[in-house]
Amino acid sequence: MLNQHTISDLTRRLAQREISAREITQSCLDRIQQVDGRVRAYLSHDPADALAQADAADQTIAREGWNEARPLMGIPVAIKDVLAVRNHPLNCASKILGNYISPYDATAIEKLRAAGAIIHGRLNMDEFAMGSSTENSAFGTTRNPWDLARIPGGSSGGSAAAVAADECIASIGTDTGGSIRQPAALCGCVGLKPTYGRISRFGLVAFASSLDQIGPITKDVRDAALMLKVLSGKDSRDSTSLPDPVPDYPATLSGNIKGLKVGLPREYLVPGLDSEVKKSVDAAVQKLVGLGADVCEVSLPHTDYAVATYYIIATAEASANLARFDGIRYGMRVDGNDPAELYSRTRGAGFGPEVKRRIILGTYVLSSGYYDAYYLRAQKVRTLIRNDFLNAFEKVDVLVTPTTPTAAFKVGEKAENPLQMYLSDIFTISCNLAGICGISVPCGFTSPGNLPIGLQILGPPMGESTLLRVAHAYEQSTDWHKAKPPLQ
Amino acid sequence: MDYEAVIGLETHVQLKTRSKMWCGCPNQYGAPPNTHVCPVCLALPGVLPVANEEALRLTLRTGLLLQCEIPARAKFDRKNYFYPDAPKNYQLTQYDQPSTRNGHVEFEFNGTLSRVRITRAHLEEDVGKSTHFERHSGVDFNRAGVPLLEIVTEPDLTSADQTHAYLNALKEILQYGGISDCDMEKGMVRCDVNVSVRPCGTQALGAKIEIKNMNSFSGVRRALEYEIPRQIAAVRRGEKLVQSTRRWDDVAGVTEEMRSKENAHDYRYLPEPDLMPFEPAQDWLDNERASLMELPLARKQRLMREYQLPAGDAEVLKNNRALGDYYEPIARLSKNPKLLANWIINNLQARLVEIMEKEKTEQASLGLEPDEMKFTGLADLKFKPSDLLDLVEMVARGALSSASGQTVLAEMVASGKAPSAIVQSMGLAQVSDAGAIETLCDQAIAQNPNPVADYKAGKEAALNALKGQVMKLSRGKANPAMVGEILQRKLRG
Ligand SMILES: [Zn+2]
């Protein structure tokens, strides 16, 4: 089935006129029809619109031939419900946006369109990207295609599940504390969180502006490289986007990592680390050694403070970012006798419990009298954490860690315990605080259980080329990425 | 015991930029509600701000004009509060790292020079405008995101009148610098006043009371004229004043309490993560510094010094910048800069007013609104400034009478011809030939026995009547000074 293939496979065959964009799109639509009632990765999608885009792509290919400058021509890419797509609903998996339709395209969407991609569907997530399981979605939990009783991870759970279940060819997620890498790991996909500023955030509904980053979830590393090349670059509409030139990422996938220095952070051997996960990650490290890498231990001494620092900074920014959802200009409104009553009724009814919890926490840490003790101190610790990484990258090219402490947990297992849930991001959070780049690639399965395990590779700021080269070399020496979930 | 007031001001001024602070929407007053809006200034989900460079530049220019330090690094912060006219429910402002700080303004007050220290002038954004109807409210977001400069003074002012003078001086500087049009009626300037009272001669500050909602400079003065005696009376009664915010009711002419300190907002300031800190480049600053205009007060002082102008004339040329700019280049070439100033301020201005009145009537009859009307200004005059200089020099050296000069000016305005050509073609050259004037004087004395008798009887004023007769006989061309001299000689003789 075409929907099971990678972008690079499909575009090669499209270029040869062996297949059509309509056939690819139809195969994804059929698969959605077949499994999404159980997986529930999509919040909504418009098959007619997808097919119309596919036909337009086919006509372009017929008229102009294959154009290397449009490397995603005819490829259906599904979008997390947190990115603005013109004339599509935008809900952030929250009730508060009501029947809001975005009047404009995010920069990332514009770039995908310019590359020829078919923009299709709204993927489920934790409400406003706050969570690690999609259980915080106002519209139901997405299921892990490998075990429908389990969560797919989050917040980009829909994005990972849709790729893993072959309901799309690739998807777009966002990562604030691991929200791309963690679900990619739990669903057995490749998930890339680029350096902060590498991809424009314009059109991404902000959770925590200084941590948020858009990235691809794909079926293999080459596709991630391809997507990154399309999505990256300075954007005049995002002042925090970086001006560095965009390398030809797919061209850097040489397969050669001889002499590359790989660091293993000592502090990541935490008590909660599952033995199956540890075993797979150790084996992956041995594989890298076998490929010629030099492995050594490094220290990231401020790791212990990462989760606390993250939840102060992220919630502080979120408390301001989410203030605009007030029922005045758009979205849901519950009327009141004065603005204050309208606000509290609207926000009381529109936001879910986790979002409220984080807004309250963020409001508290910014309050006069507490600001210095919490927010200001967290900013200082954030600098220390970033320095830990920059120091480590003086000695090594990349760091290798597990992506998550455990494989996918059961739906409801941690829902009542927010702190436990927060700790599931323990290996991914520091990367966002430091503003560096990271990727998760499949590195094995639990046994028994047959649940995917992810290997996280972290690189220095703008170190995506190296990161992708290592991930690709590892991936090509294994078959983990070829496994498909037992989902009929 | 005598008490004195201690006054500080926070003045908000809309910057004169083409577009808004964070988006490309026009910064323009008077459009129908919600027509100058876009996803960014409506704070739709997913948008980001991008700082307007022109606004950053005008802020730096203001800082330089107010003698401020320009820190190497400034940043923006989110000031959190919920209000329907604030689209993001936070306002972007500069909290602890403003673009400019520690400056001062000098201005004339009561015949001496006053100096007010400027704490800071920082950049922020305006919010929308709420309108309340019978059963609902509406918000117009055209103004949301318009760049706003907040200029904060130290508590250096001591009276309502002095505060009023400071505001006028500030407005003049901002208009001079092209920073803001400062049109009060369009809401381009708004101020909050902090005022407290203390026993004369003491240094400690009393409870700071903030007054809001004044929408004119005279409103500020009236509010202070009400509030200062109110506070002094309260203190004399033994009441303890507490820090609070009061609202000025312009109709009733009173201030009333809005909220006390306990109910003060906690704005939960947060550094804006969507914008990079602003670090003005050195060459940018150097350019701005090099092209900086002279402050109005400095110009007035210089006009008095360099051209020996009386304070009144220098004040007019300072207040009307276009007029001053017209004057100075030709004043430098003039042997009679005082007379030249006089001609520009009185005669040339009068002509322009005359033309404007005519144009106003014409355009009104075409159905144009006052906003849409265009009038001839100094730049549209058909003659060159150097022509006016020539005209004034002719009058100064007696080649043309003052009265004929007026006629020539009218013709210059009408045709743009050079004054010498007009004088020649109209035959207006002043007659300074003593013989010719003597003949005319004899004629006048012969024809007007009564004034002659009056003068001889000691009525000095009668000479003017005779002078007028001579001028009339010469059709205005006789040199008036010579006429006076010759008449006097003849009548005494
Ligand atoms: Zn706008």
Whole-number Å distance between alpha carbons of A192 and A82: 17
Residues B205 and B273 in one domain: yes
What's the CATH code of the domain at A63? 3.90.1300.10
Residues B404 and B459 in one domain: no
Give pLDDT tens digits for A376-393. Answer: 999 999 999 999 999 999
Task: Tell whether A447 is covered by a domain.
Answer: no
> Which residue type, as a one-letter code, is found at position B405?
G
Quote the pLDDT of residue A278: 95
- How many interface pairs between A and B have CB atoms less than 8 angstroms apart? 100
Contact A178, A156 (CB under 8 A): no
Quote the pLDDT of residue B493: 66
Give pLDDT tens digits for A39-51. Answer: 999 999 999 999 9
Token pair for B148: 């706003």
Residues B386 and B465 in one domain: no
Task: Tell whether A367 is covered by a domain.
Answer: yes
- Closest Cα partner for A81 from A188, A156, A167, A189? A156
What end-to-end distance do the CA atoms of chain A give, in Å?
13
Q: Please say which residue of B406, B426, B446 terminates a domain.
A: B426
Q: How far does A209 lie from chain B, in Å, by closest CA?
A: 6
Token pair for B193: 């006043």
> Which residue type, as a one-letter code, is found at position A251?
A
Chain A residues in contact with B44 (beta carbon < 8 A): 84, 102-104, 329-330
Angle at CA of residue B122, ends B117 and B125, nearest 5°: 145
Task: Tell whether A267 is covered by a domain.
Answer: no
Residues B255 and B120 in one domain: yes
Token pair for A136: 């915080």
> How much distance in Å is there from the Cα of B145 to the middle of ligand 1?
7
Chain A residues in contact with B46 (beta carbon < 8 A): 83-84, 90, 102, 106, 202-206
Per the annotation, the verdict on A219 as an active-site residue is no
Query: Residue B11, Cβ neighbours under 10 Å: how many?
Result: 23
b/e per residue A235-271 (b: at least 16 CB within 10 A): bebbbbbbeeeebebbebbeeebeebebbbbebbeee
Residues A254 and A165 in one domain: yes
- Closest Cα partner for A302 from A377, A364, A365? A377
- Do B45 and A104 make contact, defined as CB atoms within 8 angstroms? no
Helix or strand holding residue A445 (H, E): strand A437-445
Pairing assessment for the beta strands B270-271 and B77-80 based on DSSP bridges: antiparallel
Residues A215 and A324 in one domain: no
Residue A410 contacts B, CB cutoff 8 Å = no
Which whole number is the average pLDDT over B209-219?
91
Contact A83, B46 (CB under 8 A): yes
Quote the pLDDT of residue B462: 86
Complex ipTM: 0.96
Q: Please say which residue of B284, B317, B337 terminates a domain.
A: B284
Backbone angles phi, psi at B153, to 5 degrees: -100, 160
Quote the pLDDT of residue A212: 98
Is the pLDDT at A80 greater than 90? The verdict is yes
Helix or strand holding residue B210 (H, E): strand B209-214
Residues B36 and B171 in one domain: yes
Confidence label for B262 from pLDDT (cuts 50, 70 and 90): low
Whole-number Å distance between alpha carbons of B351 and B348: 5
Residues in contact with B321: Cβ distance below 8 Å, sequence separation at least 6, in sequence order: B175, B176, B296
Contact A223, A190 (CB under 8 A): yes
Q: Please say which residue of B265, B284, B303 terminates a domain.
A: B284
Which whole number is the average pLDDT over A66-78?
97
Whole-number Å distance between alpha carbons of B349 and B354: 9
> How much distance in Å is there from the Cα of B20 to the middle of ligand 1?
7
Query: Residue B198, Cβ neighbours under 10 Å: how many?
Result: 18
Ion ligand 1, residues whose Cβ is below 5 A away? B 23, 25, 38, 40-41
Residues A129 and A207 in one domain: yes
Residues B383 and B482 in one domain: no
Is the pLDDT at B261 greater than 80? The verdict is no
Residues B251 and B344 in one domain: no
Residues B302 and B397 in one domain: yes
Quote the pLDDT of residue A465: 98
Chain B residues in contact with A240 (beta carbon < 8 A): 48, 273-276
Q: How far does B72 lie from chain A, in Å, by closest CA?
A: 19
Give pLDDT tens digits for B186-196. Answer: 889 999 999 99
Confidence label for B263 from pLDDT (cuts 50, 70 and 90): low
Residues A114 and A8 in one domain: yes
DSSP annotation of B164 reads H
Provide the percentage of residues in chain B whose pLDDT is more than 70. Answer: 99
* Nearest-Cα residue of chain A relative to residue B82: A323
Backbone angles phi, psi at A175, to 5 degrees: -135, 115
Q: How far is CA A263 from the centre of its chain?
A: 24
Q: What is the residue range of A245's domain?
A: 2-260+469-482
* Nearest-Cα residue of chain B relative to residue A362: B268
Residues A207 and A139 in one domain: yes
Q: Please say which residue of A325, A351, A381 terminates a domain.
A: A381
Residues in contact with A248: Cβ distance below 8 Å, sequence separation at least 6, in sequence order: A229
> Which residue type, as a one-letter code, is found at position A267?
E
Which whole number is the average pLDDT over B85-95?
97
Which of A86-90, B304-308, B361-365 has the least mean pLDDT?
B361-365
Q: Which of A102, A179, A200, A232 is catalytic?
A: A179
Q: How far is CA A265 from the centre of its chain?
A: 23
Q: Which residues of B touch A (CB under 8 A)?
A: 39, 42-51, 78, 80, 82-84, 87-90, 139, 266, 268-270, 273-276
Query: Residue A79, Cβ neighbours under 10 Å: how many?
Result: 28
Task: Tell whether A213 is covered by a domain.
Answer: yes
Per the annotation, the verdict on A380 as an active-site residue is no
Is the pLDDT at A396 greater than 90? The verdict is yes
Q: What is the mean pLDDT of chain A?
A: 97
Which whole number is the average pLDDT over A200-219?
98
Residues B243 and B381 in one domain: no
What's the CATH code of the domain at B446? 1.10.10.410
Residues B349 and B449 in one domain: no
Q: Which residue has the tokens 């009929």?
A: A488
Domain count, chain B: 3
Residues B303 and B262 in one domain: no
For B193: left if phi > 0, alpha if psi spans -120 to 50, otherwise beta; the answer is beta
Chain B residues in contact with A92 (beta carbon < 8 A): 45
Is the pLDDT at A421 greater than 80? The verdict is no
Per the annotation, the verdict on A179 as an active-site residue is yes
- Do A339 and B82 make contact, defined as CB atoms within 8 angstroms? yes
Token pair for B249: 């009711």
- Do B268 and A240 make contact, defined as CB atoms within 8 angstroms? no
> Which residue type, as a one-letter code, is found at position B303?
L
Whole-number Å distance between alpha carbons of A150 and A185: 13
Token pair for B469: 């007769």
Which whole number is the average pLDDT over B206-216?
90
Residues in contact with B446: Cβ distance below 8 Å, sequence separation at least 6, in sequence order: none
Residues A341 and A238 in one domain: no
Residues A52 and A152 in one domain: yes
- Do B51 and A84 make contact, defined as CB atoms within 8 angstroms? no
Whole-number Å distance between alpha carbons of A36 and A161: 10
Q: Please say which residue of A355, A381, A407 terminates a domain.
A: A381
Cα-based distances in Å from A449 to A187, A190, B282, B291: 13, 20, 63, 74
Task: Tell whether A473 is covered by a domain.
Answer: yes
| Residue in A83, A90, A366 nearest the CB of B270 | A366
Q: Which residue has the tokens 């101190």?
A: A377
Q: What is the residue range of B19's domain?
A: 3-284
Is the pLDDT at B59 greater than 90? The verdict is yes
Task: Tell whether A402 is covered by a domain.
Answer: no
Quote the pLDDT of residue B129: 95
Task: Tell whether A170 is covered by a domain.
Answer: yes
Q: Please say which residue of A366, A381, A396 terminates a domain.
A: A381
Contact A207, A321 (CB under 8 A): yes
**% helix, strand, coil for chain B, step of 5:** 45, 20, 35
Residues A17 and A79 in one domain: yes
Residues in contact with B477: Cβ distance below 8 Å, sequence separation at least 6, in sequence order: B401, B404, B427, B428, B429, B430, B431
Helix or strand holding residue B262 (H, E): none
Contact A127, A174 (CB under 8 A): no
Task: Tell whether A344 is covered by a domain.
Answer: yes
Residue A104 contacts B, CB cutoff 8 Å = yes
- Do A102 and B46 make contact, defined as CB atoms within 8 angstroms? yes
> How much distance in Å is there from the Cα of B378 to the middle of ligand 1?
36
The long-range contacts involving B341-348, CB below 8 angstroms and separated by at least 24 positions, are B341/B307, B341/B309, B341/B313, B341/B317, B342/B313, B343/B388, B343/B391, B343/B392, B343/B395, B343/B405, B343/B409, B344/B317, B344/B388, B345/B313, B345/B316, B345/B317, B347/B405, B347/B406, B347/B409, B348/B388, B348/B409
- The half-sphere exposure of B340 on its side-chain side, counting CA atoms within 13 A, is 27
Model pTM score = 0.89
Query: Residue B282, Cβ neighbours under 10 Å: how many?
Result: 9
Residues B271 and B359 in one domain: no
* Nearest-Cα residue of chain B relative to residue A91: B45
| Three-state DSSP state, A112 | helix
- Closest Cα partner for A53 from A69, A81, A34, A72? A72
Domain count, chain A: 2
| CA atoms B17, B21, B24, B27: torsion sign | negative
Provide the percentage of residues in chain A whose pLDDT is more than 90. Answer: 95
Helix or strand holding residue B298 (H, E): helix B296-307
| Three-state DSSP state, B79 | strand
> How much distance in Å is there from the Cα of B38 to the middle of ligand 1?
4
Whole-number Å distance between alpha carbons of A67 and A90: 31
Q: How far does B130 lie from chain A, in Å, by closest CA?
A: 12
Residues A310 and A245 in one domain: no
Is the pLDDT at B371 greater than 80? The verdict is no
Residues A65 and A193 in one domain: yes
Residues A51 and A188 in one domain: yes
Q: What is the mean pLDDT of chain B?
A: 92
Which whole number is the average pLDDT over B229-243?
93
Is the pLDDT at B430 greater than 90? The verdict is no
DSSP annotation of B383 reads S
Residues A313 and A253 in one domain: no
Residue A206 contacts B, CB cutoff 8 Å = yes
Contact B148, B123 (CB under 8 A): yes
Q: Which residue has the tokens 């500030």?
A: B170
